[in-house]
A and B are shown apart, each in its own frame.
Chain A
Amino acid sequence: MLELIVFLPIIAAVAIVLGSPARITAFGAAAITLVLSLVLAVQFKITEEGGFQFESARDLLNIPGFPKLALSFGLDGISLVLLLLATIVMMAAVWVAPQESKIKGSSKIYYLSLLLIGGGAIGAFCSTDIFFIYAFHELALIPTFLMIGLFGHGENRVRTAWTITIYLGVGSLILLAGLILALVGVGADTFNIEEVVALAKAPETAIAAGKQTWIFGLLLVGFGILVSLFPFHSWAAPAYASAPTPVTMLHAGVLKKFGLYGLIRIAMPMLPEGMQALTNVLLVLLLGNIIYLGLVTIAQKKLDRMLGYSSVMHMGYVFLGIAAANHIGVGGAVLLMFAHGISIALLFALCGWICERFGTVDFDELGGMAQHLPKLGLLFGFAAFASAGLPGFANFAAEVAVFFGAFQVGSGSLGWFQWTTIIALWGVVISAVYMLRAYRSLFYGEKLEKAAAPADMSWACRIPILLLLVTLLLVGFVPEILNQFIRPAVEGIFLTTHG
């Protein structure tokens, strides 16, 4: 069934090429993958030792001198949570996507690209073969380029499309170099993630500490570019601002999590000493994300760019959780990846709605929407609070875990981690500031003329929004829904890391 989930979006994309009606096919594929992934979540057995379930493998390549390649899939707690994130956001994104008649240009390319971006993310999260983890992620590269270039908004869209594609392309090549070095370093004769990690942990085959630092550095830069780690963040906000709404939802919500996933899945267990050596560097960089980019976010004058920067900023917290490298921190990071993915998709969906109705997202030109568009106001309010980390939303539960995790590191005195956490806490204030400012300038202030106000959100528009919002609230009130999956998987990473 896992293989079906992975290949359904891709099969649907091929069907669209062959002439199947675009929107219906995409919608059907997204809905079926969502249902199937929920079924998997229910069937998933929670065990103490973690490990992969629903495994399947097809051997592909076996030649001397080169690692064995197999098209293999499997889920553990972490990848299950990210799979759920991907399928939920993909459903919402396809739903939010415009009707075929409203798309300027080829609706085939539009939906095809959406499916490939979503399918690539799903495939990357479900693969247990390092080659395919990498390769599926790259599946999204060209569709993103075409989507921004063809259907994006703003005069600079072609330029932006180039920027993101070259940035991410170069990032992937750096990542590739790091991965090859890591694989060769442990003398792996397979791409299978479990076997490679086992090799990396065995004292005889583990990579020497000095070499680990280099390789981890490469991986950090490679993955960091994909996640928009400061100072490799400059592609993100302009790209999100000019990409079509569904692409932004998928990219900011799901695809960007790939880099973090890679760090947790590959870099952390394989290169513990390298990570330790570079932790302080990572702490400084992530403060760049939280504080510097947080302030940049406050300065934004347009909703789409503000959301883009806020999404970059929040990556800092996830990095903090990963840097902490303990159960609470990493568990919180995974939960935050989920929560942030859903909430940023939600915000961008609302932003897209506003942009479509008003033709602008400039704070100076908008205002006073609360009276005539109460439903939008309510939904946006929820989304903004979620993103700012108000209790009751998944983001809160996750951020708290990250902070606790980071504070716990060390011997109890005030060290690097404690100071970083204390400074990072101010990020919460920063995000409250920009979210509330955005809310104020959109919904209060000079009243919107009744005549100028469009109809409020219809049910058809609200369903995908509600899907995302309910998920956030549900996980916010009962984080255990996801934590029960995450905990054993994270334990599993450390069990063998320090064991």
Chain B
Amino acid sequence: MPAYILEIIVVALGLLILMVDAFVKLEDKRTLAWIGMLGLVVVFGLLFRVEAPASTDSPFWQFYAPDDRVALFFKGIAVLCTLVVLIMAYDYSPVVVDQTADPEPGAHPQAGLGEFFALPLFACAGLMWMASATNLVSIFVSLETVTIAFYIMVAYLRRNVGSLEAGVKYLILGALSTGFLVYGFAWLYGVTGSMQLSEISAALASPDVNQLGALFAFGLILVALAFKVGGAPFHFWIPDVYQGAPTPITAFLSVGSKAAGFLILLRLVDPFLGSEALSDKVATALAAIAILTLLIGNFAAIPQMNFKRLLAYSSVAHAGFLFTALACAPTKGGGESLTPTTVIAFYLGAYLVMTLLAFLVMSTVRKTIVDETFDAYSGLAKRSPFLAGATLVSMASLAGIPLTAGFWGKLFVFKLAVDQGQWVLLTVAILGACAGFYYYLKIAASMYLSEPDGRKQSVDNSPIIVGKIARTAMIVMIIAVIAIGINPSLITGLLG
């Protein structure tokens, strides 16, 4: 079975949800989420049955990598991420209903919930396609499929000012970065005369390439993609949008969108690094962004007092580590060494599990508290030892404490930096990791060590009930974080 069938299935799944929502009378619209979840589980299983097509003569294969383990891995990330987003959305639906409910009489009390489950699936299909895209056109189209779905999802809570504000910010900056990207693509086409990544690679490697034009194209593309993945200094939209968007969508943005962005970066940076004339300048630009991102992400996270905002900065910080890996691509060949592709894929795999775990806790707790400040989380360890424990595991992993998945991600990045002799980057990365120790632990401290402040009416001390699916998902993720932490080949094995 060729891989593109899976994208078709996912789109069909999204359409199915919309149809069922429109034509079947449902008592509880959350049933729709079940359709999505079950469908995604099937799709995830099918990922392991994907085979290379028998013949690749058709022009379609110019747009789509026929056989690519890394692409499959990223499709897996997209599917799992969407699955968890749907699980979160299922538990989060009371908030969605509350913030979107239509006061008109006769309307279904959960009107507008169905689309909330269908949109992530469309974004997922875009992410999956993007993983296999090998042509500037298909990269651009799939990226826009994802981004447009996100515009809607971010602003979904239409009675919530924060969500609308986030939506507008995301729309304007997203459109801006799209503009940069298209312009960059245009220049790249102008310089190389091709839309095909393999041909671009060959054209850039030849000595008589127009260097200035190629570098200009690279600069534009880098700016655009740094916007998407949250690389400094193009990260400033992240905290506001993350804070305002509905929590499941924040998680989706933080994991799915970032994974896709880095995959595209990997694909697009590779031809430039392969060119002898350009590679040094390109690597320097990447290193500069990496250093800035590491510093800003990690150090701006320190004073944050809001869980969601902190995770937003943490997402910037992790982008910094990923940029570090990208900047440490082995330019001077020779010997076996880690490749940025392996490191970035591993990092994102680990990042997926630990970040989604944190967001899952957040969306579960959100029903019982008004906002995501640390105050609201104080005493969580008493209200629900399970949720506190899950957060602790996730924070330990994000901080990169050994025997968790996150540690290996960082270790691989450090190793890559040492291999390439990037001492400045290594020092900054280690400093960043030190800062991470503090701010991730701060969340744990707020849950375990501070007593809930009884004077504030927003705080209640009743135990929190965790839904069955969410609980199962969390247990699976906790085990995954630790199992990968002990045996990282669980992920590297998938990369071949």
Residues of chain A within 8 A of B437, CB atoms compared:
165-166, 169-170, 173
Total A-B contacts with CB atoms under 8 angstroms apart: 96
State whether the Cβ of B430 lies closer than 8 Å to any Cβ in chain A.
Answer: yes
Bound CA span A158–B378, Å:
14
State whether the Cβ of B66 lies closer than 8 Å to any Cβ in chain A.
Answer: no
Bound CA span A60–B441, Å:
29
Which among A175-183, A282-290, A350-358 touches the partner chain?
A175-183
A145-B444, A177-B426, A181-B418 given. 7 additional CB < 8 A pairs? A60-B488, A65-B335, A65-B339, A131-B402, A136-B402, A136-B403, A146-B448
The answer to whether A60 and B486 have CB atoms under 8 Å apart is yes
Chain B residues numbered 402-416 whose CB sits less than 8 Å from any CB in chain A: 402-403, 407, 411-412, 414-415
Residues of chain B within 8 A of A321, CB atoms compared:
none
- With A66-B415, A173-B433, A180-B418 already in contact, the answer to whether A60 and B489 are too (CB < 8 A) is yes
Main secondary structure of the interface of B (DSSP, over half): helix
State whether the Cβ of B342 lies closer than 8 Å to any Cβ in chain A.
Answer: yes
Residues of chain B within 8 A of A134, CB atoms compared:
402
Residues of chain B within 8 A of A69, CB atoms compared:
488-489
Least distance between A367 CB and chain B CB atoms (Å)? 35
The answer to whether A158 and B449 have CB atoms under 8 Å apart is yes
Residue of A71, A145, A174, A177 near B441 (CB, 8 A) is A145
Least distance between A208 CB and chain B CB atoms (Å)? 15
Bound CA span A162–B412, Å:
28
Bound CA span A149–B388, Å:
15
State whether the Cβ of A412 lies closer than 8 Å to any Cβ in chain B.
Answer: no
A-side residues, CB < 8 A to B, are: 17, 60-66, 69, 71, 106, 108-109, 131, 134-136, 138-139, 141-142, 145-146, 149-150, 158, 161-162, 165-166, 169-170, 173-174, 176-177, 180-181, 184
The answer to whether B412 and A66 have CB atoms under 8 Å apart is yes
B-side residues, CB < 8 A to A, are: 335-339, 342, 381, 385, 389, 392, 396, 401-403, 407, 411-412, 414-415, 418-419, 426, 430, 433-434, 437-438, 441, 444-445, 448-449, 486-489, 492
The 3 A-B pairs of least Cβ separation, nearest first, read A135-B402, A65-B337, A64-B336
Residues of chain B within 8 A of A149, CB atoms compared:
445, 448-449
Residues of chain B within 8 A of A146, CB atoms compared:
444, 448
Residues of chain B within 8 A of A166, CB atoms compared:
437-438
User: Could you list 24 A-B pairs, sorted by A, with CB under 8 Å?
Assistant: A60-B486, A61-B489, A62-B489, A63-B342, A64-B338, A65-B339, A69-B488, A131-B402, A135-B403, A136-B403, A138-B403, A142-B396, A149-B445, A158-B449, A161-B445, A161-B449, A162-B441, A166-B438, A176-B411, A176-B430, A177-B430, A181-B418, A184-B415, A184-B419
Residue of B336, B434, B445 near A169 (CB, 8 A) is B434
Residues of chain A within 8 A of B414, CB atoms compared:
176-177, 180
- With A170-B434, A184-B418 already in contact, the answer to whether A142 and B412 are too (CB < 8 A) is no
Bound CA span A427–B476, Å:
54
Of chain B, the residue at the smallest CB distance from A141 is: B401
Of chain B, the residue at the smallest CB distance from A123 is: B403
- With A177-B414, A184-B415 already in contact, the answer to whether A135 and B407 are too (CB < 8 A) is yes
The answer to whether B445 and A158 have CB atoms under 8 Å apart is yes
Least distance between A304 CB and chain B CB atoms (Å)? 21
Of chain B, the residue at the smallest CB distance from A62 is: B489
Residues of chain A within 8 A of B407, CB atoms compared:
135
Of chain B, the residue at the smallest CB distance from A169 is: B437
Indicate the member of A64, A65, A108, A134 with the most B CB atoms within 10 Å.
A65
Least distance between A159 CB and chain B CB atoms (Å)? 10
Least distance between A161 CB and chain B CB atoms (Å)? 7
- With A60-B488, A150-B448, A158-B449 already in contact, the answer to whether A65 and B438 are too (CB < 8 A) is no
Residues of chain A within 8 A of B487, CB atoms compared:
60-61, 71
The answer to whether A150 and B449 have CB atoms under 8 Å apart is yes
Bound CA span A134–B407, Å:
12
Of chain B, the residue at the smallest CB distance from A61 is: B489
Of chain A, the residue at the smallest CB distance from B489 is: A61
The answer to whether B338 and A17 have CB atoms under 8 Å apart is no
